[in-house]
């Protein structure tokens, strides 16, 4: 039997740990070295010869294993977060701004102020920056992103630039739009029953294919839960069952044999070091085996706290980042449902040293029959999402393996702040405060 120990290579005595997460926390607190999460899929035990009767020391950040403590020390030092060196030949220039240089400056300032800026509710932008992820929201005026690196105008330009690169369609075919509107209107005016409405929508879907079909099926899937009643506050489970799951399944996975959309109960094997799983995911299978994930979702019922909404947003960014690296994808779609308001984001790699987490659009799904006509406003956006999700695939070139900040460093720091000191919380999913 081999013995694999998790030790601190920097302490003179032997300090052992039960988890790599605990080792990383110790190394940060005692030795001020910030280490990334392990983004490898292979299990360490499987690569060590179990017949060897020798003590091995494992690296807390990868699958490396050695019998020498000094070797481990040299190896672990290499993992520490560092500002990437700038190669002028491959910078991302937008108009006249060197975005790469700005981002490296921002990264460097986040890294040096990390110890004081670990509260996720105030510094989610900075924390994602340490994982080399730049957040680009529709609302560009954040207090927590220093304007010396990213003034609001630059953030707004970058947001536009990324959306342009996704080549999203601007709107749904006008004839299809009007047909859906006509069917919903008849239902709203009590001219046809719920069942007859569904039948008409399914007949319509039969005449379409691709993202257009997905949008019609998505509208149909919401109908069973539509009642002419006074709906109270919607809780997380009801939101998941009645709205989010039917909608997302129809939009992203229905009539696609290799894709499944589900409320999850598994933790992705992509380096996630947190015991909590995402609420929702869309997985792609290859040869009947789960291959990679193209979408993660987080849900909160109406009336949830802003801090938990920001934590969810942060987690989505990290789940997506880990997945895009581990599975080498062209992008990962994310959505955050806060009540029936659902905001979509995508994580992409526009430049080899910088990932972006970009807000795409927000839709609000009606809860009752009386409000059903408001669904019309969401059709163009649902079409965009269905179209974009179909483009996500394995990247032709390997994505850069940029280090990711472990969850453990931010989770313990959760606390709410007085309203006045809060950053642009409203920018998360257009939330009203």
Q: 62, 133, 234, 329: which one contacts Zn ion (CB under 5 A)?
A: 62
Q: How far is the CB of 59 from Zn ion (least distance, A)?
A: 3
Q: Which stretch binds Zn ion (CB under 5 A): 11-19, 141-149, 258-266, 373-381?
A: 11-19
Q: Indicate whether 28 belongs to the interface with Zn ion (CB under 5 A).
A: no
Report in angstroms how near the CB of residue 58 gets to Zn ion at its nearest: 9
Rounded Cα–Cα distance for residues 24 and 27 (Å): 5
CB of 33 to Zn ion, least distance (A): 9
Identify any residues that bridge with 134 across adjacent strands, giving them in sequence order.
356
Residue number with CB closer to Zn ion (59 or 347): 59
Considering only 10-18, 173-181, 218-226, 395-403, which stretch makes contact with Zn ion by CB under 5 A?
10-18
- Parallel, antiparallel or unpaired: strands 354-364 and 55-58: unpaired
Stretch of 29-37, 135-143, 337-345, 376-384 lying at the interface with Zn ion (CB under 5 A): 29-37
In angstroms, what is the minimal distance from the CB of 266 to Zn ion?
25
Q: How far is the CB of 348 from Zn ion (least distance, A)?
A: 27
- Count Cβ atoms below 10 Å from residue 94 Cβ, excluding itself: 15
**Closer CB to Zn ion, residue 72 or residue 176?**
72
Cα gap 386→249, rounded to integer Å: 10
Sole binder of Zn ion in the list 2, 5, 10, 40 (CB under 5 A) = 10
Report if residue 30 touches Zn ion, rule: CB under 5 A: yes
Site for Zn ion in 375-414 (CB under 5 A): none
Please, which residue, 66 or 341, has the CB nearer to Zn ion?
66
What's the token pair of residue 209? 């294919």
In contact, 205 and 216? CB cutoff 8 Å: yes
Residue 111, token pair as written in the block: 């890294």
58 by Cβ neighbours in 10 Å (0-12 / 13-18 / 19+) ranks as buried
Instruction: Tell me: does residue 61 bind Zn ion (CB under 5 A).
Output: yes
Whichever of 28 and 388 has its CB closer to Zn ion, that residue is 28
Residue 261 buriedness (CB in 10 A; 0-12 / 13-18 / 19+): buried
Distance CA 348, CA 95 (A): 20
Under rule CB under 5 A, residue 22 binds Zn ion = no
Using CB under 5 A as the binding rule, whether residue 64 contacts Zn ion is answered as yes
The CA distance from 410 to 123, in Å, is 10
Choices 22-30, 108-116, 350-358, 403-411 (CB under 5 A): range interacting with Zn ion: 22-30
Count of residues of this chain found to bind Zn ion when the rule CB under 5 A is applied: 8
State how far the Cα of 28 lies from the Cα of 35, in Å rounded to an integer. 7
User: Which ranges of 223-300 does DSSP label H, i.e. alpha helix?
Assistant: 236-238, 245-252
For Zn ion, the closer of residues 11 and 111 by Cβ is 11
Which residue lies nearer to Zn ion by CB, 59 or 372? 59
Judged by CB, which is closer to Zn ion: 59, or 118?
59
Residues facing residue 60 across a β-bridge: none
Question: Of these, 23, 34, 59, 127, which contacts Zn ion (CB under 5 A)?
Answer: 59
11 binds Zn ion (CB under 5 A): yes
Q: Distance between CA 119 and CA 415 in Å, rounded?
A: 7
Q: How far is the CB of 24 from Zn ion (least distance, A)?
A: 11
Give the integer Cα–Cα distance in Å for 71 and 52: 19
The 10 Å Cβ neighbour count of residue 112 is 11
177 binds Zn ion (CB under 5 A): no
102 φ/ψ sector (left φ>0, alpha ψ -120 to 50, else beta):
alpha
Binding region for Zn ion (CB under 5 A): 8, 10-11, 30, 59, 61-62, 64
């Amino acid at each position: 039997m081999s013995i694999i120990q998790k030790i601190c290579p920097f302490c003179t005595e032997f300090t052992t740990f039960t988890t790599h997460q605990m080792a990383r926390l110790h190394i940060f607190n005692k030795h001020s070295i910030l280490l990334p999460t392990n983004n490898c899929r292979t299990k360490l035990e499987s690569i060590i010869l179990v017949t060897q009767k020798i003590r091995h020391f494992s690296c807390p950040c990868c699958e490396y294993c050695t019998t020498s403590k000094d070797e481990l020390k040299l190896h672990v030092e290499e993992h520490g977060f560092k500002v990437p060196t700038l190669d002028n030949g491959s910078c991302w220039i937008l108009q006249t701004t060197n975005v790469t240089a700005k981002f490296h400056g921002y990264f460097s300032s986040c890294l040096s102020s990390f110890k004081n800026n670990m509260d996720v509710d105030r510094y989610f932008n900075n924390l994602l920056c340490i994982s080399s992820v730049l957040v680009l929201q529709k609302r560009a005026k954040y207090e927590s992103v220093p304007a010396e690196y990213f003034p609001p105008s630059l953030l707004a330009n970058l947001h536009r630039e990324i959306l342009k690169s996704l080549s999203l369609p601007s709107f749904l075919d006008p004839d299809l739009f009007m047909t859906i509107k006509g069917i919903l209107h008849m239902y709203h005016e009590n001219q046809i029953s719920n069942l007859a409405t569904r039948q008409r929508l399914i007949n319509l879907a039969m005449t379409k294919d691709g993202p257009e079909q997905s949008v019609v099926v998505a509208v149909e899937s919401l109908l069973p839960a539509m009642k002419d009643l006074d709906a109270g506050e919607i809780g997380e489970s009801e939101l998941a069952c009645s709205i989010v799951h039917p909608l997302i399944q129809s939009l992203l996975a229905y009539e696609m044999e290799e894709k499944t959309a589900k409320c999850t109960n598994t933790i992705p094997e992509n380096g996630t070091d947190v015991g909590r799983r995402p609420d929702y995911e869309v997985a792609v299978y290859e040869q009947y085996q789960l291959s990679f994930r193209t979408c993660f979702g987080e849900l909160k019922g109406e009336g949830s706290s802003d801090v938990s909404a920001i934590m969810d947003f942060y987690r989505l960014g990290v789940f997506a980042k880990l997945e895009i690296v581990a599975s080498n994808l062209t992008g990962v779609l994310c959505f955050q449902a806060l009540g029936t308001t659902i905001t979509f984001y995508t994580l992409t790699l526009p430049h080899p040293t910088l990932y972006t987490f970009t807000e795409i659009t927000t839709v609000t799904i009606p809860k009752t029959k009386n409000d059903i006509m408001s669904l019309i406003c969401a059709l163009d956006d649902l079409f965009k999402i269905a179209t974009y999700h179909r483009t996500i695939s394995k990247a032709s070139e390997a994505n850069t393996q940029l280090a990711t900040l472990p969850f453990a460093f931010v989770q313990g720091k959760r606390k709410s702040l007085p309203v006045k000191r809060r950053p642009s919380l409203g920018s998360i999913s257009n939330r009203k405060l």
